[in-house]
Amino acid sequence: MSVLAHESEEELPAWSLPASAGESIRLPSDWPERVTREWAWGGATGAGVRVCVLDSGVELDHPLVGTVQRSVAVSKSGDEITVADDTAGDLCGHGTACAGIIRSIAPECELTSVRVLGAGYTGSAAVLIAGLEWAIEQGFDIVNMSLSTTKKQYVDRLHELADAAYFKRTVLIASAHNMPVESFPWRFAAVVSVGSHESPDPFVVYANPRPPVEFFARGLNVEIAWVGGATINATGNSFATPHIAGICALILSKHRELTPFQLKSVLHLTATNVGGGA
């Protein structure tokens, strides 16, 4: 698929590195001795960071969401899947909620909505995959995935996409499951997986010493944007995920050079239980 094809466009050593070439790939390393939240995102607004919300759509002009740069919908007709610009907004309320949370944390980030809901249950996993492929092709910095699939026949493709995104510097942030089932993509090491904690502080983040769930963020009784310009209260890992997406947008807006691997390290080092909050 095209996503995998444009992974490396620059001339860099791919499979081996000659002894003389070490200097030519010197990477910036201006990390302080102690990574603090002030260093990580102090003064950041999310400006310049492109965030994609893969969900049920986002209501246009919701006061808690503000400007949505672009809205597309993924639809399925027979075997054909299309991605097209869309003005129908949100079919459920959930996507608007996620977008509002991201906006509340990173007020100046750029938001794009990709609707992967509404094409019927039967084609839902294929539509989700097509939406994710599109998002990776577009080169978003962050993709918020407050969703999962249990369909095993799509696991390999999802895994390929998660790895492709990782190497293209698109960070996938995915909701973990708090039910005893095998679901994806949150279990993959290449994504940032998120569960909920009970603190009302949107910046309290816990690093989990026992993955696969890697981080816990605010997911209980969260005031969220909903369809019809409404504001309601909700609970679920779905709402913890955009908190981490928002914090990642802040970090990336201040440190554009970070790879997903480095971003995850910063998240870890600034987690509340690792000494973050300082």
Would you tell me which residues interact with other proteins (CB under 8 A)? 56, 91-94, 117-122, 124, 146-152, 175, 177-183, 196-198, 219-221, 226-228, 230-238
Give me the residue label for tokens 């987690």.
271
Q: Minimum Å distance from CB 24 to other proteins?
A: 45
User: Which of 223, 186, 264 is closest to 101 using CA atoms?
Assistant: 223
CA distance to 57, 133, 152, 158, 168, per residue, from 165 (Å): 22, 9, 20, 10, 5
| HEC-encoded secondary structure of 82-99 | EEEECCCCCCCCHHHHHH
> Closer CB to other proteins, residue 118 or residue 260?
118
Closest approach of other proteins to the CB of residue 130, in Å: 14
Minimum distance from CB of 250 to other proteins (Å)? Answer: 25
Q: Which is nearer to other proteins, 118 or 246 (CB)?
A: 118
Token reading at 111: 């938001």
**60 or 234: whose CB is closer to other proteins?**
234
Q: Which is nearer to other proteins, 151 or 159 (CB)?
A: 151
Query: How many whole angstroms separate alpha carbon 256 and alpha carbon 129?
Result: 27
Rounded CA separation 11/108 (Å): 33
As measured in angstroms, the least distance from the Cβ of 228 to other proteins is 5
- Decide whether 14 or 179 has the Cβ nearer to other proteins: 179
Residue 127 burial by Cβ neighbours in a 10 Å radius (0-12, 13-18, 19+):
buried
From the CB of 198, what's the least distance to other proteins, in Å? Answer: 6
